[in-house]
Amino acid sequence: MAGDDKYPESTGRRRFVKGVVGSATLTGVGVGAGAALKTATSPSGEGGGTTQYMAVENIAGPAPRGMPQIPIEIDSEGYLKGQFPEAKKVQKGGQEVVVAEKKIGGMTYSPEWFQYCGVQTYKGVDPEADQDNYFRYKKGAQYEWQADVEAGGKVHVDDFSDYKTWGNGIGKSGLGKPATVTWRSQDVDSSQTLTVQVLRSPLIEKKDNEWVNASTDKGFVAWLNKCTHFCCVPKFKGIAGSAKFNAQDDVYCPCHQSVYDPFSLVKKSFVALPRPEGDS
């Protein structure tokens, strides 16, 4: 059912989608203005404000920008981790505050990259959260191959050994092997789970620039899997109906047909929402 097109041509779906683009633009203006006002006037908000970040590029549909990338590192045993800046206390405006940011590949990386669509309230984006940074396989993931790995188990390089040939009947084979995982979400309510897509691809391996070299490893790339339009959950090669929108080899969101290119990593900016008081 997930692969079915909810809006066949006879319903005038294309006219509906065009209308969504306009409303999304207005919605984005409202949310951005509200976030900016809250950040500027509310002392209870933590972090937030205009933020530059690296994203998997949005190439079609109403999504206003790309989804934020999570820089990857691989430990000495071959397990994948998402990098997360170490929290430290600094003096700002005569007050001691906790900040978490680091320089990676010419960018300032911080939890603010992920503070949208309610994620700013998740425990995992709290710089002082008691969480490790390993990616773990998500229970009930849509990729059939994940039935062979333990839900909740740490993601290992060897699980992707067939990434140069993998396919599932959607689009071309050999573009890479995806997985649905969680990050910084151990022992939290399911509503607080940070859902992430990890992809190992030969196309990522071929890229060579400062950011890619610093944020990917052995062809692995990862991003927070929450559509920037209406916060739905897109999929890379996870929905058969994506071919109707020429998105069979991209990340496709079935809610309003936003499409993202996981092989195009671009710099974007948005107004990050502040974390609730006491989260840092």
pLDDT tens-place string over residues 156-209: 999 999 999 999 999 999 999 999 999 999 999 999 999 999 999 999 999 999
Helices (H), the chain: 13-41, 202-205, 210-215
Structure confidence at residue 278 as a pLDDT band (50, 70, 90): low
> pLDDT by residue (tens digit) across 210-222?
999 999 999 999 9
Only one residue has tokens 């990386």, namely 109
Output 14 or 158, whichever has higher pLDDT: 158
Task: Please give the residue that has the higher pLDDT: either 91 or 21.
Answer: 91
DSSP 271: E
Tokens of 84: 């997360």
| HSE (side-chain half, CA atoms, 13 Å) at 182 | 26
AA identity, residue 256: H
The predicted structure's pLDDT at residue 16: 32
Q: What is the pLDDT of residues 15-67, one digit of tens each?
A: 333 333 333 333 333 344 333 333 333 333 467 899 999 999 999 999 999 99
| Cα 124–Cα 72–Cα 273 angle in degrees, nearest 5 | 40
Write out 124-170 in H/E/C secondary structure: HHCCCCCCCCEEEECCCCCCHHHHHCCCCCECEHHHHCCCCCCCCCC
Q: What is the pLDDT of residue 68?
A: 98
Range with lowest mean pLDDT among 4-8, 136-140, 157-161, 176-180: 4-8
Q: What mean pLDDT do residues 79-91 have?
A: 93
Residue 253, pLDDT > 60, answer yes
Give yes or no for residue 9 having a pLDDT over 80.
no
Q: Residue 89's pLDDT is what?
A: 87
* Rounded Cα–Cα distance for residues 208 and 215 (Å): 11
Helix (H) or strand (E) holding 280: none
Task: State the Cα–Cα distance between residues 39 and 84, nearest whole angstrom.
Answer: 23
The domain spans of the chain are 9-272
* Average pLDDT value for residue range 84-90: 91
Query: CA 81, CA 60: separation in Å to the nearest integer?
Result: 30
